[in-house]
Structures are given as structure tokens and as C-alpha cells.
Structure 1
């Protein structure tokens, strides 16, 4: 269900229409310009004894449209276990009661702008490994983070991670369409999501010089995001394509602030989009997520907000491609999701990463 710029009463009415079973739970994806008080929303849903999880995103997706003010409400009839945590100790204390469950998938919503995001994903991977598949997106407000970004029955949170474990059959895929443009470079100094030095030089000096030499772009600290959105960093990991890292801004010391951690001593390239392969992405990802089913599955898509900023009108074509391709196979299935601040994906092989400028698709049967 999708509601454009709803009031609190509109959301409650929509949930009443959708909520038909006490066993059902809700996933709420909320655009950051939706003018609804989250504490009031949580209180109302708790009074109705409705189980729910959700997050705030720059925009939400419904079929082939996006909205800053909209709300996506998805009813989930699977058995779910939900954990919120903001530290490894908190996760372990809460997960100890569920260690013997045979979960297939961990649907994850994480504060995409937090410097602790990669550490919290590492907590999940350290204790769960490849026993489950991971899928989800980075929540957050691009304008302000004072009004909460994560919600569940226990309250409203300004940071942290919500992980929802389920035992249903799921299929998922991730792609990005980026290729090497310049590199490689050695990350000779870094700290979490800060790149301090590349090849033993100040990171901004190296990055700006490369864009000037290769693209004739005169990069400054003031116009950094305008151009860096088109030239992210990428590094390889075993059994993976590039892990993309968005360079969001540069600080006074010339350190480049990224979404997600960059390991020190890793090799990175500066990337550019591989446009000739973009049109194939929706068809390939839908195909990789297909499973025979008598009922319409639940399909959720997360695509990076900075990817949208780069692709512009081509993003609309890409989203339309996903919607059309899904309807070919499941005419009653609605593609919904969000424009996220980082994407979460692991198929059960290799490490769990916070992706940037990527698309992740999850389908639950």
C-alpha cells in the first residue's frame, strides 16, 4: 500500500484496511518529508497491538514512482523476530534467545550516515556468518536527523540498526553498473569512513588532480559533491564485483568522507558508470530472484539515493524496467522500496558489506 503525503489518521486508516490478521506484521517505509510525528505513530500502533518495523528514507518507491512525502506500508504474514541494537553487547544480549532458530534471511535497516554502520554490520556477520542471507537499506534524513530514523514497537531511534529475521524462502540480488576509470590507488591512511591519504598524499589532492587530468574538472571543497557523485571509489573483495564507496564531502584537512568504511592499505579505483550495461540490470536481477509460486511474492527494492542523483532521467527508465519485468512474472505483485543511504546485501557467500550506488532486490515467497 502506498499513501502520498498522508496524515497520521490516513496512515492508521490505511493500516486498518490492510491489517487482517493478528499474526501479520508491518513494514513501514517513510519518506523524509512526510509530516507525521513518529512518536504519535508508534503510540497509535502499539495501542492497536500491531507489530511493526520501519525507517525514514530520502524517498520511497511505489511501482515506477518515487516520493519524498509518501509512505509505503507492506503487510508481512511470515514469522518474524525483530532486534534493535546499537552495540555488539546489545545485539548479543537480545539474540541469545534465538540462536537455535533456523532463519533464512536477515532483513536489515541501518543508520546509513553513521560512522558505526560498517561496525554494526560486522557485528551481524561475526555472529551469523553465511548462515543467513542479508538484505536491506540505509535509513536516514539528508536534511536533519533530529526527528528519528528508525521505529519499532519499542520506540523511535536516532541511530542504530533494526534486523528482522525470517524463515521464509527468499531470493535476492545486487548490481551497480560501475567500471574502473582511474587507478589503482593505495589507501595509505584511513579511519573508518575517512580516507586521509591515497598513495602517501593527501586524499583530496590526489582525487582532485585525477579528475582534472582525466575529466578537466576543477574540483574544490565547495563543489565537491556536485562532481564526486559521478566518480565514486571502488575496491574488490573475494567473490564480489566492486564494493562502491560514495565520496560525500571533504573536510578542512582534505580527508574524504565516504558512506561506509574504507580499509587502510586496500587498493581502490575511481569508477565511472558503464552505461551500455544499465538497460540489462532490471531483467537480470528479476530473473535471478524468480521462484515458482502460486501466490504473489513480496518484492522490496533499495537503490542508492546518490545513484539517482547520477543517473537522473535514466533512473526513471531503470525503475520502469524493474516494475515492468516483475509484472511479467507476477501480475499482482507491487514493487516497492526506498531510495536508501547505502544498501545491504549478502547472498550467503562472502562478507557482508554496506554498498553504495548500488541496487539490491529482495523477493520473499
Structure 2
């Protein structure tokens, strides 16, 4: 449900006394999160959630407001993971059990430990659970506390909601290859230093300016780069998108998400029509052959920056598919700093500029 009140007591009046109460908060919502946590604890209410650049309700995207979801099927208390530098992630994970079928992962999208978190989750539960995840944080890309639970308000942290129900996933992005592949022969985490043994920015600038009407000398880097992401090439699947957001003084490109050394990268582009169509395809895949009881949408904040006023058409495409199957379901979710999805047995992939539709059944 969508809540527009900023009064902590009024928000908590909508909480379930038995379920885990998942709250998704738009970053410009004037709520005292510490007070909300204290009052939830005083009422003995289970609380989990995060701060996001925007929230989604039906075909609207809002930077203020709260989405509240009652997660009735949690098999345990929400699992807080923090202190990555001092406590191995493996030591903070619960022991596997037969009723752990799916997992919702919320994580600080600006922390340096996203890859280690996802690697540890894969190693521990690779063949047991489906995962859907969203990166919390601010659209300003300035790190601050963004993970909410009964234990407090944290940055550099993650939260797991492990549920007994199954989740069906639809993942799509609509971006297509412009040129490539290029070898990312020199990388450092989320930084591409060289492509094909040349400074990364030199290659990127040449390709983008050749294939567009834009010149980097005339515009801010991110104004152009939001329309030309990288794609990590994967055989038989869509490229896994990486969003270049900054070029540094050495000509290295900083991306949202790590770039493996020697990865094969394409430079991508996409028409607005193709991106909107991809949203409907993701929704169709998520609800295929099931009777969904809940929809959780994780969409990338940078798709809004690219589609602008047409972004509502993307949300409408998802809503149309969902309502055709079950007109009582609301499309609820977040605009995130990184999207996570995998089916049982698959790697936990971190995406940018991608739509993940999770249908619980």
C-alpha cells in the first residue's frame, strides 16, 4: 500500500502485528527514521526496509512517500549484514533449511561490498533460493544511512528477508549493441581504466560521438553516458548492463557495479520504444504460468533520467500486463541503485538500467 503520511504513529498503525513490515521510502520523505524504529520496537512490530531515490505505485514514480508491504511468509527475522571489513559475510548468514525458498535482498547501493555480498549468497544458497534485490541510497550518489530495521538505521549494510513462498522473476532491459566487443584489459573494481589497451574514455568517446549527435565537450558526461551504457557480454543472454557515471582525470570510467578484468564489453544504446517494450516483456515473464499474489518491481533510477516524461509509459506497460492477469494486484516497488535477480542455481547478478519484476506466488 502507498502511505503519504509522515507521522510515525500513523504509519505504524498500518503495520501488521504478525508479518515482517517491509517499508520502501522515497528519499525526500520527511520522516524521522530513528523515531519510527524506536516506536516500532516499543510496539513490538517487525520492521525492515530502505531509503530509495524513488518509490513506485502503479504507474507513478514518487520521490516522497512510503510503500508498505506485509511479508507474511518470512521464515525468520530479517537478517542484518554489516561490518563487512571485520566479519566475513558467511559468518553472518543463517543456516540453510528446507523452507527457505526465496529471498528479498536490500543493500546499500553505494557500498564497496556488493560483489562480496552477492558472491557469499551464491556460495551459500546457490541451488535453493530465488533472489530479488534492490540497491538503496540517494540519487545524489552521496552515501548516507539507507538500511532500516529494528536494530537501527545503517549504511554499508544489507538486509535479507527470507520467505517460504516462491518468487517468479522477469528481467529485461531493451538495450542493444552499438559497437563491440572490447576487452576491459585493465579494471579496478567498478573502474574501467583501459579498453583494448587504450585509455577507456578515449575509446568510449570515439564510439559514442560517432553514433550520436552529442559531443562530450558540449555537455556534462552523465547527460550523454546515460544513453550509452556498457554491456558485459554473456552467451545466450542479454548483456549485463553497467552504467558509466563519471570519467576521472586519468580517463578511467567509473560504473555502478564491478567490471571483471578482461570482461568482453559492448557499448549499448536503446530507443525509448524498445525500453518501454522491454518492461512489458519482463512483466509477462514474471507472471507466466503462475497466479501471483504480490508484485515487487525493481527498476533503475537511471531509466527515469533517460526516458524522462515517457517513463510513466514504462510503468504503464508493466501495469497493463499485471492487471490483465489479476486486476486486484497493485504494482509496487522502487527505483534503485542497482538491481539483483537470479533463479535457483544461477549466479546472483548485479544489473544497471534493468527492470526486475518479481511475482510472489
Tell me the TM-score normalized by structure 1: 0.91
1:58 paired residue among 48, 53, 61: 53
Deviation at 1:110, TM superposition (A): 1.4
The residue that corresponds to 1:254 in the other structure is 251
1:27 paired residue among 22, 28, 37: 22
The residue that corresponds to 1:2 in the other structure is 2
Greater displacement, 173-182 / 141-150: 141-150
Q: How many pairs were matched up? A: 357
Q: Please say if residues 110 and 143 of structure 2, whose CA atoms lie closer than 8 Å, have aligned partners that are also in contact.
A: no
- Cα–Cα, structure 1 residues 237 and 102, in superposed 2: closer, same or farther, change >3 Å? farther
Deviation at 1:104, TM superposition (A): 1.2
Please show how residues 145-156 of structure 1 align to structure 2 within 5 Å.
145=142, 147-156=144-153
Deviation at 1:328, TM superposition (A): 1.8
The residue that corresponds to 1:95 in the other structure is 93
CA displacement, residues 193-240 of structure 1 (integer Å, 9 cap, x when unaligned): 000111111111211122222224321597110100000000123553
Say whether 1:335 aligns with 2:328: no
- Cα–Cα, structure 1 residues 2 and 308, in superposed 2: closer, same or farther, change >3 Å? same
Please show how residues 315-326 of structure 1 align to structure 2 within 5 Å.
315-326=311-322
Q: Please say if residues 96 and 125 of structure 2, whose CA atoms lie closer than 8 Å, have aligned partners that are also in contact.
A: no
Q: Please say if residues 114 and 159 of structure 1, whose CA atoms lie closer than 8 Å, have aligned partners that are also in contact.
A: yes
Please show how residues 5-154 of structure 1 align to structure 2 within 5 Å.
6-9=5-8, 12-19=9-16, 22-81=17-76, 82-86=78-82, 87=84, 89-96=87-94, 98-143=95-140, 145=142, 147-154=144-151
Q: Please say if residues 75 and 99 of structure 2, whose CA atoms lie closer than 8 Å, have aligned partners that are also in contact.
A: no
The whole-number CA distance in structure 1 between the counterparts of 2:2 and 2:66 is 6
The residue that corresponds to 1:188 in the other structure is 185
The whole-number CA distance in structure 2 between the counterparts of 1:263 and 1:221 is 31
The residue that corresponds to 1:284 in the other structure is 281
Deviation at 1:57, TM superposition (A): 0.6
The whole-number CA distance in structure 1 between the counterparts of 2:139 and 2:69 is 24
The whole-number CA distance in structure 1 between the counterparts of 2:346 and 2:228 is 26
The whole-number CA distance in structure 2 between the counterparts of 1:173 and 1:114 is 26
SS at match of 1:17: coil
Say whether 1:314 aligns with 2:310: yes
- Cα–Cα, structure 1 residues 42 and 263, in superposed 2: closer, same or farther, change >3 Å? same
Please show how residues 182-331 of structure 1 align to structure 2 within 5 Å.
182-220=179-217, 223-290=220-287, 291-293=289-291, 297-331=293-327
Q: Please say if residues 115 and 193 of structure 1, whose CA atoms lie closer than 8 Å, have aligned partners that are also in contact.
A: no
The residue that corresponds to 2:350 in the other structure is 354
Structure 1: state its 5+ residue gaps: none
Deviation at 1:150, TM superposition (A): 0.4
Deviation at 1:101, TM superposition (A): 4.0
RMSD between aligned alpha carbons?
Answer: 2.1
The whole-number CA distance in structure 2 between the counterparts of 1:227 and 1:156 is 35
Q: Please say if residues 84 and 91 of structure 1, whose CA atoms lie closer than 8 Å, have aligned partners that are also in contact.
A: no
Tell me the TM-score normalized by structure 2: 0.92
The whole-number CA distance in structure 1 between the counterparts of 2:93 and 2:356 is 25
Greater displacement, 121-130 / 179-188: 121-130
SS at match of 1:351: coil
